[in-house]
Amino acid sequence: MSSAPAMVAADALDMTFPGAIHALAKVNFTVRRGEFVSLVGPSGCGKSTLLRLIAGLASPTVGTLSVAGLPAAVARRRATRLSFVFQDATLLPWRTAAANIGLPLELAALAGAEREARVRDSLRMVGLSDFARRRPRELSGGMRMRVSLARALVTHPELLLLDEPFGALDDITRQRLNEDLLDLWLKQRWTSVFVTHNIAEAAFLSTRILVMSQRPGTIAADIAVPFATPRRPELRAEADFARFVGDVGRELRKGRE
Amino acid sequence: MNRPALGRWLVRFAVPPLVLLAIVIAVWDAATVVFSIEKYLLPRPGQVFLAGWRDHARLLSAALVTGEASVCGFLLSFVVGLGVACVFSQSRVIQRMVYPYAIFLQTVPIIAVAPLIVVWFGYGFQSVVVVAFIISLFPIITNATTGLTAIDRNLLEWFELAGASRWQLLWKLRLPGSVPHLVVGAKISAGLAVVGAIVGEIFAGAAMHHDGLGNLINQTNANLSMDTMFAAVLTSTCLGIVIFGTVSLIGAWVLARWQGAEV
């Protein structure tokens, strides 16, 4: 995997917001194609800001950030298929689940039959085939998040950015969605950058974890996750897993000092 | 709504205002008798009712004329107001440039500009519609602008990430997202359009071929037939309620479809 070409490369990123809030300082990291990388860190450490930089929604004050070899803002507009999943499902309340999922294709002017087939596939992938015609308000929080995920996957993204997507869900739903997300990733092998403050979630999902320090955020540790994929849900109950989560937690605390 | 629920609804929402109405009519009637008020100053409720009965054909046709002008004025302000709001949503600069004059529209005393409207549009239907339009325009502009611009930040960013064009953003996010605000604006505006039409008829409606409620109020006021005038005022109120109610019902239907609620 380490020989795969870089999907995201950050070089000496520095980000200062108006009002002299120093959000990121000298951030260096690389995410290779096909990796599932989690960013964990204390709240306010700039991990969401980092994700927005990768998405090209903001520009760094200093330093360069390239996505698929192009500056992030350019990459988004060209060639690179990038999807973003927010903490809220951010669905359109007046559209059905299917119409919400089809929206990115509609915006890209993809014709009817192909679009329908892709929407149907995406619905099936997230296990919502029977809920295609429901509106967001008729769905549970977990189901809404699934719709949001399906909408992100319908474009067959090369790079999927997830900003604490399961943070607002209860633990059981979160674990189910983690397992489903991991399965989908194993099948489709897009590149993921996943922001969370939940270490166990990061350990279960990722191939690599980047631990961030408190503001101004830097990469305090770069930890490879030692568990082979596919991963069974029971992994979470194993001693190795608990020890690993403990190790990452220690790095996180170190970064706070 | 099933039968017992309808009954309960009637008791809760229809009976209290009817009770108050009965009290007001009783006090009104008693006052005219006790203070022996002349008919040309304040007719008795019964006389108003009789006048309404006697002139019902005239009242109804006047209500239809005024209703037509109100609906035209309302539809015009809905379309124009939404158009203006769409332009506002595209450019902050234009919004800042134009908005003060939109407020001017709301604060200008309509009676003061009525002569000008008559000069431009002549006495009759057109001027009445213009007055109804001016009076009902502002709530549509403000509510539609709010609806088009107060879009969830994440949704805006999602559309940006999805590479949506300005036009797609307006057509697929801003416009459908503004529906609840549009419904609110339309309800306020519909009521005002009726007021505008009647005011318009009083100040700019005098024409051979235009015979609305405002004209009727003018005429009956001139020859002191207060009973018919009161009946005309009450008919105006009813017209306002009917138009407001119709727009509210359409709004509720649109909202229910918009949210996908099981009605």
Q: What is the pTM of this model?
A: 0.84
- Note whether B27 and B78 are same-domain residues: no
- Probe site for chain B from A107, A137, A162 (most B CB atoms < 10 A): A107
Give the integer Cα–Cα distance in Å for A99 and B246: 30
Tell me whether residues B158 and A94 touch, CB distance under 8 A: no
Q: Are B157 and B29 within one domain? A: no
Closest alpha carbon within chain A to B176: A94
3-state secondary structure chain B: CCHHHHHHHHHHHHHHHHHHHHHHHHHHHHHHHHCCCCCCCCCCHHHHHHHHHHCHHHHHHHHHHHHHHHHHHHHHHHHHHHHHHHHHHHCHHHHHHHHHHHHHHHHCCHHHHHHHHHHHHCCCHHHHHHHHHHHHHHHHHHHHHHHHHCCCHHHHHHHHHCCCCHHHHHHHHHHHHCHHHHHHHHHHHHHHHHHHHHHHHHHHCCECCECCHHHHHHHHHHCCCHHHHHHHHHHHHHHHHHHHHHHHHHHHHHHHHHHCCCC
Question: Residue B222 sits in a domain of what CATH number?
Answer: 1.10.3720.10
How close does chain A come to B155, measured CA to CA in Å?
6
Residues of A with CB below 8 A from B162's CB? Answer: 103-104, 107-108
Does residue B63 share a domain with residue B26? no
- The shortest C-alpha distance from B182 to chain A (Å) reads 15
Looking at per-residue pLDDT, the higher value among B142 and A64 belongs to B142
pLDDT at A1: 47
| Residues 141 through 160 of chain B touching chain A, CB cutoff 8 Å | 152, 154-155, 157-160
Q: Is the same domain home to B123 and B209?
A: yes
pLDDT higher than threshold 60 for residue B261: no
Topology annotation, domain A6-81+158-256? Rossmann fold (3.40.50)
pLDDT above 90 for B155 = yes
Do B203 and B88 lie in a common domain? Answer: yes
Domain count, chain B: 2
B101-112 residue pLDDT tens? 888 877 888 888
Q: Does residue B13 sit in the same domain as residue B95?
A: no
Residues of A in contact with B156 (CB under 8 A): none
Q: What is the pLDDT of residues B190-216, one digit of tens each?
A: 999 999 999 999 988 777 678 899 999
Shared-domain flag, residues B31 and B103: no
pLDDT tens-digit map of B55-108: 999 999 999 999 999 999 999 999 999 999 999 999 889 988 988 888 887 788
Mean pLDDT of chain A: 87
Q: Clarify whether residues B119 and B29 are in a common domain.
A: no
Q: State the smallest CA–CA distance between residue B90 and chain A in angstroms.
A: 19
Interface contact flag, B159 A86, Cβ < 8 Å? no
pLDDT at B13 over 90: no
Of the pLDDT bands very low, low, confident and very high (cuts 50, 70, 90), residue A93 is very high
Q: What is the pLDDT of residue A256?
A: 65
From chain B, the residues in CB contact with A106 under 8 A are 172
Asked whether residue B132 falls in the same domain as residue B208, the answer is yes
Name A196's bridge partners.
A40
Give B11→chain A minimum CA distance, Å: 32
pLDDT at site B1: 55
Specify the amino acid at residue B8.
R
Asked if residue B49 has pLDDT above 80, the reply is: yes
Statement to judge: residues B10 and B121 lie in one domain: no
ipTM of the complex: 0.88
- The parent domain of residue B3 ranges over 1-37
Residues B120 and B174 in one domain: yes
Where, residue-wise, is CATH 3.40.50.300 in chain A?
A: 6-81+158-256
Are B16 and B143 members of one domain? no
Contacts of B152 in chain A (CB under 8 A): 90
